[in-house]
Amino acid sequence: MFLKTLVCLLMLTSLTHATEKVVYGEDNRKDLYQVTNPLYLKLANSTAGMVNSSIIRYNWDDTISINSQKTLEEGLKVCSSEKFSNQKLLTNCSGFLIGEDTLVTAGHCMSDHVIPQACKNFTWVFGLHMESSSYINLRDIPMENVYACKKIKKVIFSQEQDFAVIQLDRKVTGRTPLKYRKSGKVSNNTELLVIGHPSMLPTKVARGGKVVSNEDKFQIRASLDTFQGNSGSAVFDAKTGLLEGILVNGKTDYVPSLSWDKTSCKIVNKCNQKGDICYHTRNKYDAKAEGVTRITTLLEYL
């Protein structure tokens, strides 16, 4: 079931940019054990991954195990030399806590047109992060980290707006709902931070993003290092930690390592900080930069 869902997500990349992301300038993605900023660690504590329920096993001691078989190299055919190639594929989308029992993600992550019965067939798990370069706990995850989707309070997936507000099956314990912008918009010179699950991997933190375009009513365009699986990730003001929006789409993320051989292993697509020059692809249909749904567009549903 997990593999089928993964294949379906990959097929969607030919229909929509919703699952496509990319690296701008330097690759700023870090595992949580590499992060020392206490603010970023606190923000990451309120983020979660959307896990296919079919790969979850409930243990006798009130914990769960996640049975993930494929690494990034095996599942997405990424070259072994690429960053995080040996880490396991765990999630389909990302999300974040915005109320005691309320989680926000991208609309396409919860749309039946994209992922059928997402509320029923997927589980939200907090704390899915590498604890060292080689270890992540997937065997006895406490139930206080694990939540079902009780209902979708609101979902919109269109060219203009892309978000979903979810009521979880109970109040989340040990984690603080994120503080978010309630009026106005991010300034053009703000450095941005994104936290989520790029390429369906354990939690990553990536700062260094810049606002590329800020005119649209519903979306910000930003040079954030994000990938398939980052959909639904929280995007913050890197200095204050204020939540600015939801990562929803962007440029092509992986390209063949040999330009003349589409079957060759894949490498990260790299662009300059403005996103107007990409060194491995010239796809004219690519977005200008990563799309971030403004959190202010869904205030009435929070």
Q: What is the CATH number of the domain that holds 116?
A: 2.40.10.10
89/215 same-domain check: no
* pLDDT score of 9: 41
* Model confidence, pTM: 0.91
Distance of alpha carbon 6 from alpha carbon 34, whole angstroms: 28
CB of 20 closer than 8 Å to CB of 228: yes
Is position 135 within any domain?
Answer: yes
* pLDDT score of 273: 83
164/199 same-domain check: no
CB-based burial label for 27 (10 Å; 0-12, 13-18, 19+):
middle
* pLDDT score of 287: 67
Tell me 26's DSSP state: S
142/256 same-domain check: no
DSSP 22-55: BEESS--EEEGGG---HHHHHHHTTEEEEEEGGG
Determine the residue type at 132: S
| The last residue of a domain, from among 168, 183, 201 | 168
Placement of tokens 């600015």 in the chain:
244
Placement of tokens 């060292």 in the chain:
132
Is position 297 within any domain?
Answer: yes
* Other beta carbons within 10 Å of 62: 11
Distance of alpha carbon 108 from alpha carbon 50, whole angstroms: 13
Placement of tokens 């003349």 in the chain:
260
144/6 same-domain check: yes
Domain count for the chain: 2
- Residues spanned by the domain of 201: 191-226+234-301
* pLDDT score of 288: 76
Distance of alpha carbon 280 from alpha carbon 254, whole angstroms: 9
Considering only CA atoms, give the Rg of the chain.
18
Q: What token pair was written down for 83?
A: 């960053």
The number of C-alpha atoms within 13 Å of 84 and in the hemisphere containing its C-beta is 26
Is position 174 within any domain?
Answer: no
6/85 same-domain check: yes
7/144 same-domain check: yes
Is position 287 within any domain?
Answer: yes
CA distances from 18 to 15, 93, 211, 246 (A): 9, 11, 19, 12
289/258 same-domain check: yes
Is position 267 within any domain?
Answer: yes
111/208 same-domain check: no
* pLDDT score of 125: 98
Contacts of 149 (CB under 8 A, 6+ apart): 110, 118, 119, 120, 122, 123, 124, 166, 167, 168, 169
Question: In which residue ranges of the chain is pLDDT below 50?
Answer: 1-19
Distance of alpha carbon 141 from alpha carbon 132, whole angstroms: 16
* pLDDT score of 62: 95
117/149 same-domain check: yes
CB-based burial label for 152 (10 Å; 0-12, 13-18, 19+):
middle
Distance of alpha carbon 89 from alpha carbon 109, whole angstroms: 17
β-pairing verdict for 191-196 and 141-142: unpaired
Is position 11 within any domain?
Answer: yes
Which of 296, 295, 299 lies closest to 105, judged by CA?
295
Please report which residue ranges of the chain form alpha helices under DSSP H.
2-11, 38-44, 72-76, 107-110, 118-121
Distance of alpha carbon 135 from alpha carbon 51, whole angstroms: 19
pLDDT tens string 233-268: 999 999 999 999 999 998 888 999 998 999 999 999
